[in-house]
Structure 1
Amino acid sequence: VVDRSAYNDKMSQLFYYRKKLSTAYSDVTSTDPIFMAMKDTVETFGIPRQMLDDMVSGMEDDFHRNRYQTFEDLYSYCYRVASTVGLVCIEIYGYDDPRAREYAESWGVFMQLTNILRDVAEDAERDRIYLPLDDLARFGITEDDVKSGKELLNHPGWKPFVDEYIERCDGYREKAFKLFGLLDRSSRYSPAAMATFYQSILNKIQRKDGDVFTERIQLSKTEKMFLAAYVYVRYRFLAL
């Protein structure tokens, strides 16, 4: 059941943000300090408007869709909600090699695909299935199977599906990690840390044979501290 009032309110907010976004690319000056800061950032770093428009469109996708038929459909969603963030960030971080844009796109897709796999159970409870339906069907998995929670672990197609899904994630991960060496050394830590955290989450899912239902897959405080220290040394001090 759709809460029409809440839906309209959220869509109105997105319309407002898209409208205010225009002030960052025009002679009109906003009195909102957030958009004043955005205008300064856009002008300082030359951030293309299309990236920010696509980002808002990704938020709108979540109001209009709760299923993705093909991986191509899902990729488009991942690009809008995650790759655009990476593409905006590298404009601020700074880079010279144009390949950085391709790798930043993969960085966002890798992290969003990991999010989607980790959150399968809670998304299904909200009647959202981000996993491509066509891919699930190839392994004999239905929407009802996805909604069954832990019962899905007994489905003969789930483990092979997860293995293929993770293999696809790894392809984007490999490209993502090529990005960091192209960034200014002082800017590498944050994106490298995020990608490393997500790589560790994906590794945990694989070791658990795709069990994202028994408990939420996450990193402990100790694991985060260890990985953060490792990334700091590797990407701030060591030659890549």
Structure 2
Amino acid sequence: MGFLRARHDEAPVLGCDSADLAEVEQIVVRSGTSFGKGMRILPPDRRYGMYAVYAFCRLVDDVADDELGDPADRSRRLEAWRARIARLYAGEAHDGIDRVLMATIRRFDLRQQDFNDVIDGMEMDASGPVVAPDEATFDLYCDRVASAVGRLSVRVFGDASPSADQVAYHLGRALQITNILRDVAEDARLGRLYLPRDLLERFGIPPEPEAVMRAPRLGQVGRILAGRAHDHFRAAAAAMARCDHTAMRPARLMGATYAAILAAQERQGWGTPERRVSLSRPRKLLIALRALAG
């Protein structure tokens, strides 16, 4: 693991015990995500700070997605997480994840409200499947599950300016809209439908997960939302230009990767939503090199 390569005379990463760091890193590893690899560009304190933020997001997301628990049970477990975050801000930690997360909160001055916003987003999924929300709810969902994570992340990256919050606002929405457009079929299998009701009704598509899968005019909804995502990518890039250049390296990398995914989805279209688009490893590497060089 990354922290084990540090010299013995160096200060501990985030001032944390290696076993606690390993516990947090294992959550990232077990998720199977490429997130961990992407964060290797960060110095150790920031890298493990991001692992801690990811671990929090992963664990609360697991609660929201737990199909075995009923909505009331999931809600209680998310409220327990809200109380757990409050205890961390009061200086009370009970396990390794708590200790690394508390060290991250203190080191990077993370805001409690941003953690609570993420939990609120998970609550929207946990209380029952989201099905064709109105436009205001759609935007609120994107803010809570994506932009709030961005507001935590930019501080760990190294920029707490208002412009960095603008990066989080726009890039979070761009990434989440891209995910929604890519995962229409997967979400439908779970009884979820994140596409805005207003757009579906405009094109005569019943606001039902299975109906959307068969809708011949789904592509028109997809193109409108893709246009919104592109607008957010451009606004995020403009905000990044006002931020610390080095701190924004991970944000540039995520933005470039997801913009390429969105472009691939647009080329494929929405005629076969069950075909989930992806990028090849060479393509991902080229995108990363360009983003980091920029």
TM-score normalised according to structure 1 size:
0.86
> Deviations for 1:69-123, whole angstroms, at most 9, x for unmatched residues?
3121111011111001111111222336522212311110110011001100111
> Deviations for 1:153-201, whole angstroms, at most 9, x for unmatched residues?
xx2x323222211111111111122233344333222211111111011
1:19 lines up with 2:83 in the alignment: yes
1:58 lines up with 2:118 in the alignment: no
* Residue number in structure 1 paired with 2:221: 161
* Residue number in structure 1 paired with 2:100: 37
The answer to whether the Cα contact below 8 Å between 2:154 and 2:160 also exists between their aligned partners in 1 is no
The answer to whether the Cα contact below 8 Å between 1:14 and 1:56 also exists between their aligned partners in 2 is yes
1:21 positional shift: 0.6
Structure 2: distance between partners of 1:150 and 1:184: 43
Q: Identical aligned pairs, as a percentage?
A: 27
Structure 1: distance between partners of 2:114 and 2:161: 19
Distance 1:29 1:197, change over 3 A: same
What letter corresponds to residue 67 of structure 1 in structure 2? V
* Residue number in structure 2 paired with 1:147: 210
* Residue number in structure 2 paired with 1:106: 170
Counterpart secondary structure, 1:67 = coil
Matched pairs, number: 228
Which residue, out of 208, 231, 235, partners 2:291? Answer: 231
Structure 2: distance between partners of 1:71 and 1:150: 20
Q: What stretches of structure 1 of length at least 5 have no aligned partner?
A: 235-240
Distance 1:148 1:67, change over 3 A: closer
What letter corresponds to residue 166 of structure 1 in structure 2? A
The answer to whether the Cα contact below 8 Å between 1:78 and 1:109 also exists between their aligned partners in 2 is yes
Structure 2: distance between partners of 1:41 and 1:183: 21
What letter corresponds to residue 199 of structure 2 in structure 1? D
The answer to whether the Cα contact below 8 Å between 2:175 and 2:255 also exists between their aligned partners in 1 is yes
Counterpart secondary structure, 2:98 = helix
1:131 lines up with 2:195 in the alignment: yes
Structure 1: distance between partners of 2:141 and 2:184: 16
1:67 positional shift: 1.5
What letter corresponds to residue 99 of structure 1 in structure 2? S
CA RMSD, Structure 1 to Structure 2 (Å): 2.2
Distance 1:17 1:223, change over 3 A: same
Structure 2: distance between partners of 1:5 and 1:88: 28
Counterpart secondary structure, 2:102 = helix
Distance 1:205 1:211, change over 3 A: farther
The answer to whether the Cα contact below 8 Å between 1:106 and 1:172 also exists between their aligned partners in 2 is yes
Distance 1:212 1:24, change over 3 A: farther
Distance 1:226 1:83, change over 3 A: same
Structure 1: distance between partners of 2:81 and 2:206: 37
* Residue number in structure 2 paired with 1:76: 140
Structure 2: distance between partners of 1:71 and 1:103: 21
What letter corresponds to residue 140 of structure 2 in structure 1? S
Structure 1: distance between partners of 2:97 and 2:69: 26
Q: What stretches of structure 2 of length at least 5 have no aligned partner?
A: 1-65
